[in-house]
C-alpha cells in the first residue's frame, strides 16, 4: 500500500509541473479562451497524454530493469527492448495528440499538424524521457538506499553475534574457575562452602540477566566485581593482599557489562593462584566526567621470558573494546615480579552497533 501511495504522489507531482508547462506552451495560441479555461484544458491535456508515458515508464521499471537486475539480460537485448518500446510509445504519443487532444480537447483552435513531424517526435521523446527518467532514477536511488540499509543490518547482526560470542566466552571461563574453588572447599569440608555457593548464585543471576543489555550502570559493574573478589578471597586466606581503590563521580554512568571482570579474573588466575608466596592485587579505578581509568596490577612468578603476551581473556576484552568504544587505550605491561594492565575508556564514546 505504501508503494502505491508513493507512485500516486510521484505522478500527481509530475502532473502538476507538466500542467504548468502545458499552460505556458499553449497560452500564446489560446488567447481567445479565458485563463480558467486554458488551465482546465491544460490539465486534461496532461492527463490524456500521461497514458503513453505510464506504459513506457512501467515497462522500463518492471520488465527491462527487472530482466537486467534479476536475470542478467545482455546489453544488446536490453537496448532492443528499450528502442522497441520507445518507438511504439512515440507513435502512440503522437496519435494521442493528433487524433484526440487537438481535435477533441482544443476543438481545432490550433492549426492542424502532420502526424509524422520531426519536431513533434523530438518533443515527445523529451517528454517521455523526462517522465520515465525521473521515475527510474527515484527507484534506483530507493533500491540503492535499501541495499545499503540491508548491508548495514547484516553488518550489525554480525557484530552483535560476535559480541555475544565474546561475552559468552567469559561466562563459562569464570564458572569453571569458581566451580574449581567450590570443589576445593568441599574437599576440605570447609564451612565457607555454602557462602561461596550463595555468592556464585548471585553472580550467575547477574550474568544471566544483566549481560543481555547493551550497557549497565557502572555502580552495578563495581558491585559485581566486589562480589567476585569476595568469592575469590575465601580460598587464599591471609597470603593474598587485595586493594580495590575507586573514585567514581557518577555511579549511573553506563558501561558495557562484564567488561572489567576478565582483568580481575586474570589477576587471580595468572597471579595469585600461580604464586607460591605472598601476593597482592591492586585495582585502581577512577571515573571523571565519563573518562574511566582502570589500572590493575598483580604479582607473578619470575620468568626468563618477560615478553608481554595476552591470554585469551585479555584478547577477548580488546576485541570487545574495538566493537563497543571509539575512544579507548589498553596497555599490557609485564615485569620480573608483576603484571599490569592500564585501561582508559571514554564511556561517552560507546558505539551503537
Dump pLDDT digits (tens) for 244-279: 999 999 999 999 888 898 898 888 877 666 566 678
Range from 107-111, 211-215, 281-285, 288-292 carrying the lowest mean pLDDT: 107-111
What mean pLDDT comes out for the span 271-300? 85
Residue 222: pLDDT over 90:
yes
The average pLDDT across 230-239 equals: 74
In this predicted model, which residue has the larger pLDDT, 155 or 145? Answer: 145
Which pLDDT band, with edges at 50, 70 and 90, does 308 fall under?
A: very low
pLDDT band at 72; cut points 50, 70, 90: low
Rounded Cα distance, 6 and 232, in Å: 63
Q: Which residue has the cell 528502442?
A: 83
CA 128 to chain centroid, in Å, comes to 39
Domains present along the chain, CATH in parentheses: 2-116 (no CATH), 155-349 (3.30.565.10)
The distance of Cα 205 from the centroid of its chain, to the nearest Å, equals 30
User: What percent of the chain clears pLDDT 90, i.e. is strictly above it?
Assistant: 27
Q: Looking at per-residue confidence, does 266 or 14 come out higher?
A: 14
pLDDT score, position 307: 45
Are the CB atoms for 254 and 350 separated by under 8 Å?
Answer: yes
- Which secondary-structure segment (H or E) carries 104? none
Q: What is the pLDDT of residue 353?
A: 59
Kindly report the pTM of this predicted structure.
0.57
Q: Which of 142-151, 185-194, 214-223, 324-333 has the weakest average pLDDT?
A: 185-194
Q: Is the pLDDT of residue 232 over 90?
A: no
Higher pLDDT, 199 or 310: 199
More confident residue, 153 or 122: 122
Q: Is the pLDDT of residue 102 over 70?
A: yes
Rounded CA-CA distance 293/286 in Å is: 5
The x, y and z cell numbers of residue 289, run together, are: 566526567
The helix or strand, by DSSP H or E, that contains position 329, with its residue range, turns out to be strand 328-334
pLDDT for 93 equals 92
Q: Which residue has the cell 508513493?
A: 6
Instruction: Report the half-sphere exposure of 160 (CA within 13 A, side-chain side).
Output: 11
Closest CA to 213 of 353, 316, 327, 317: 353
> What secondary structure does DSSP assign to 106-136, as a single string?
STT-S----SS-HHHHHHHHHHHHHHHHHHH
Averaged pLDDT, 2-6: 85
pLDDT at 309: 52
pLDDT of 306 strictly over 50: no
Pairing of strands 240-248, 279-288: parallel
Q: C-alpha angle 73/77/79, rounded to 5°? A: 110
Note the pLDDT tens digit of each residue in 39-60: 888 999 999 999 999 999 999 9
The pLDDT tens digits for 333-352 are 888 778 899 999 999 988 76
Residues 6+ apart with CB under 8 A from 286: 246, 247, 248, 292, 293, 294
Q: Which residue has the cell 500521461?
A: 50
* Greater pLDDT, 110 or 124: 124
Cα distance between residue 293 and residue 330, in whole Å = 10
pLDDT of amino acid 116: 85
Q: What is the CA radius of gyration of the chain?
A: 37
More confident position, 273 or 225: 225
Q: Is the pLDDT of residue 286 over 90?
A: yes
What's the confidence (pLDDT) of residue 46?
92
Average pLDDT over the chain, rounded to an integer: 82
Q: What pLDDT, on the 0 to 100 scale, is given for residue 303? A: 56
Amino acid at each position: 500500500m505504501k508503494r502505491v501511495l508513493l507512485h500516486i504522489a510521484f505522478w500527481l507531482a509530475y502532473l502538476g509541473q507538466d500542467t504548468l508547462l502545458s499552460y505556458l506552451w499553449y497560452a500564446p495560441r489560446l488567447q481567445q479562451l479565458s485563463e480558467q479555461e486554458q488551465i482546465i484544458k491544460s490539465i486534461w491535456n496532461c492527463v490524456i497524454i500521461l497514458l503513453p508515458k505510464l506504459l513506457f515508464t512501467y515497462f522500463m521499471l518492471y520488465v527491462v530493469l527487472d530482466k537486467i537486475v534479476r536475470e542478467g539480460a545482455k546489453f544488446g537485448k536490453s537496448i532492443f527492448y528499450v528502442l522497441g518500446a520507445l518507438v511504439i510509445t512515440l507513435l502512440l504519443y503522437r496519435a494521442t495528440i493528433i487524433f484526440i487532444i487537438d481535435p477533441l480537447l482544443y476543438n481545432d483552435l490550433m492549426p492542424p499538424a502532420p502526424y509524422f513531424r520531426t519536431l513533434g517526435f523530438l518533443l515527445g521523446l523529451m517528454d517521455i524521457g523526462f517522465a520515465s527518467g525521473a521515475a527510474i532514477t527515484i527507484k534506483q536511488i530507493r533500491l540503492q538506499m535499501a541495499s545499503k540499509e540491508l548491508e548495514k543490518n547484516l553488518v550489525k547482526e554480525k557484530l552483535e553475534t560476535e559480541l555475544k560470542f565474546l561475552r559468552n566466552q567469559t561466562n563459562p571461563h569464570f564458572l569453571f574457575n569458581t566451580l574449581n574453588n567450590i570443589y576445593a572447599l568441599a574437599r576440605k569440608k570447609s564451612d565457607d562452602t555454602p557462602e561461596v555457593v550463595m555468592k556464585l548464585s548471585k553472580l550467575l543471576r547477574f550474568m544471566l540477566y544483566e549481560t543481555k543489555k547493551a550497557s549497565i550502570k557502572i555502580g552495578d559493574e563495581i558491585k559485581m566485581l566486589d562480589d567476585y573478589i569476595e568469592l575469590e578471597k575465601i580460598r587464599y586466606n591471609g597470603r593474598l593482599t587485595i586493594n580495590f581503590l575507586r573514585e567514581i563521580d557518577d555511579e549511573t554512568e553506563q558501561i558495557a557489562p562484564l567488561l572489567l571482570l576478565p582483568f580481575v579474573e586474570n589477576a587471580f588466575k595468572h597471579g595469585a593462584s600461580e604464586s607460591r608466596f605472598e601476593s597482592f592485587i591492586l585495582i585502581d579505578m577512577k571515573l571523571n566526567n565519563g573518562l574511566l581509568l582502570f589500572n590493575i596490577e598483580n604479582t607473578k612468578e619470575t620468568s626468563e621470558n618477560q615478553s608481554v603476551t595476552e591470554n585469551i581473556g585479555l584478547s577477548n576484552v580488546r576485541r570487545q573494546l574495538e566493537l563497543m568504544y571509539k575512544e579507548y587505550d589498553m596497555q599490557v605491561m609485564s615485569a620480573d615480579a608483576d603484571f599490569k594492565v592500564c585501561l582508559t575508556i571514554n564511556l561517552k564514546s560507546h558505539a551503537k552497533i
